[in-house]
């Protein structure tokens, strides 16, 4: 068993861009549903998926890419046990 344990958290602010298109107006829930059902290839922008809604209408979700944002990190536990630099 390890003698020292350090918990580490990392977070970032990335922005993924999508377009949802449909032949009729969508509710907020339908937009969220279409996004949750889309299987997007995050490595490749321009990925498009057709998502059938409950009434049979098709929503098209297009992934445009990712804008990488700032990141930060923090040792959240065990900092008192760090060795001196």
Residue range 21-79, pLDDT digits in tens? 999 999 999 999 999 999 877 777 778 999 999 999 999 999 988 888 899 999 888 88
- What b/e readout covers 42-65, taking b as 16+ CB neighbours within 10 angstroms? eeeeebeeebebeeeeebebbbee
**Domain housing 47:** 14-75
Residue 61, token pair as written in the block: 């979700």
Residue 56, token pair as written in the block: 């049979």
Q: Residue 60: inside a domain, yes or no? A: yes
Q: Residue 85: inside a domain, yes or no? A: no
Tally of domains within the chain: 1
Q: Is 23 helix (H, G, I), strand (E, B) or coil?
A: coil
Cβ-contact 46, 54 below 8 angstroms: no
pTM of the model: 0.68
């Amino acid at each position: 068993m390890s003698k020292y344990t350090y918990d580490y958290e990392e977070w970032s602010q990335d922005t993924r861009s999508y377009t949802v298109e449909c032949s009729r107006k969508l509710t907020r829930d339908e937009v969220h549903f279409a996004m949750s059902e889309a299987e997007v290839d995050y490595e490749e922008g321009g990925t498009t998926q057709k998502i059938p809604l409950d009434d049979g209408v098709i929503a098209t979700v297009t992934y445009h890419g990712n804008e990488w944002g700032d990141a930060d990190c923090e040792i959240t536990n065990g900092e008192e046990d760090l060795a001196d630099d």
